[in-house]
Structure 1
């Protein structure tokens, strides 16, 4: 059975990659949507390689370690053979442990990053430097990403958010002082480079951590432009509505 280890492991990894990229949108938890074709191609290649390795292993004759016979070992060499067998089988046996994470990835894909990751990135900012921003579209409420809202709130010299009603969607995080935030993670390529944008919500009860919500409200200025005191920006909530987590949970830069 040892001979099939590499084939089984390769098949499991390939199947897991195809499950999250070809048969579902779970890959969006980890990478940008533009990487889907590469994931599908990689998963298909791994499955083909695993199948080929399995067929090859089935056709090969078993080696001495797989099918030892009593008449095959010359008299007086049993101890030497046993000693060699002990050392050569440790590696393959340990290699089977790799099946555990591969199977877990296939059956239980990890969730998208959430409040724990956001808490580690509190110092991140959504923009660089103070300046003018493009005009907002007419009509209220204005649908904005959390990153776009934080950028305008902290750095927009024209104060384009003043007096406007905005609508933000994100997951809930909590602060040590009882404050709560609507939060989103931004990615450039994959979840490994994720950074955080968040907006403090006032005037509404806090939902549970990691609950996805859509908040409609009005920006409340605080602090000087580009200053630490302006972060995180404030939103006086008019409505807070629970929503399902989107298929693509990350905002894009």
Structure 2
């Protein structure tokens, strides 16, 4: 693989990565805070590729004079391994078919309880009726808030349906520490909810089904329950993760 070809591959990868960062596809794989590092890395790849092409044109194609083109065994050392072309395949696929965000398959083996073990830092529940919360905040308030801030308050939660007990579904949202490779599920049980297909996204309005608080630092408690008033199908959010 000649240097100009290697440089061209760098530029292709840089272009596709930058497009993914601009059009939002990157949100299927990493947290929003990584957008600008991705753009910066894309720019570096583009500059490296452009410099390599410029150098090749300025000096002409050059091979490594220290290596013979043929070692007498039919191996051409003037070219790099063709398998190097495979490096660009994942990026080309990303430009053609964007893989979906993590869904019910990834959530299936996860208990859905976040690592929050207390209600520290939650503060007072914001005003509004209903008030919009993340699934993680709903869990924290339902399981550990001694002020019982969810009592008699209508809330709005957004997530997708994942399988629960037979004939039931659980409102779910995947969360990331950094990227999709370390994603984990956050779940809220629902009651009186209409049937919803697996992986279908819904905006749910309801009230917390009052239950005893969970002991801090103890074994995993049951999922908190939302008694559903309304469940509206929605499109996948621009950022599918919490």
TM category (shorter chain) comes to 0.7 to 0.9
Deviation (angstroms), 1:228: 5.2
Is 1:166 matched up with 2:165? no
Tell me the TM-score normalised to structure 1 length.
0.80
2:136 is equivalent to residue 147 of structure 1: yes
Q: Deviations over 1:128-168 (max 9, x none)?
A: 23669522234421211111101111111222212221110
- Tell me which residue corresponds to 1:211: 200
Q: Which residue of 1 aligns with 2:233?
A: 242
C-alpha distance 21-231 of structure 1, shift in aligned 2 (>3 A)? same
- Say which structure is richer in helix: 1
Deviation of 1:244 after TM superposition, in Å, equals 1.4
2:31 equivalent in structure 1: 32
Quick check: 97-106 or 205-214, which moved more? 97-106
Alignment match, 1:157? 146
Q: 1:57 to 1:133 in 2, by over 3 A?
A: closer
* Superposed CA offset, 1:51-110 (max 9, x none): 222333354346499xx9xxxx9xxxxxx7541x42637852121222222311332233
Equivalent positions of 1:80-159 (< 5 A) are 81-83=71-73, 85-86=74-75, 88=77, 91-122=80-111, 124-129=113-118, 133-159=122-148
Contact 2:119 2:140 in 1 (8 A): no
Q: 1:87 to 1:223 in 2, by over 3 A?
A: farther
Question: Tell me, which stretches of 5 or more residues in structure 1 are unaligned?
Answer: 74-79
1:215, distance to aligned residue in structure 2 (A): 0.3
| 1:45 counterpart = 2:34 | no
- Once residues 178 and 228 of structure 1 are traced to their aligned partners in structure 2, the CA distance between those partners, rounded to angstroms, is 26
Mean CA deviation greater in 6-15 or 86-95: 86-95
RMSD between aligned alpha carbons? 3.0
Describe the shift of the 1:225–1:131 C-alpha distance in structure 2 as closer, same or farther (beyond 3 A): farther
Matched residue SS, 1:86:
coil
TM-score in terms of structure 2 length: 0.83
CA distance in 1, matches of 2:43, 2:201: 34
SS in 2 for 1:94: helix
**Alignment of structure 1 residues 54-73 onto 2, 5 Å:** 54-58=53-57, 59-61=59-61, 63=63
Instruction: Kindly indicate whether the alpha-carbon contact (under 8 Å) linking 1:212 and 1:245 is maintained by their aligned counterparts in 2.
Output: yes
**In 2 relative to 1, CA 57–121 (structure 1 residues): closer, same or farther, beyond 3 Å?**
farther
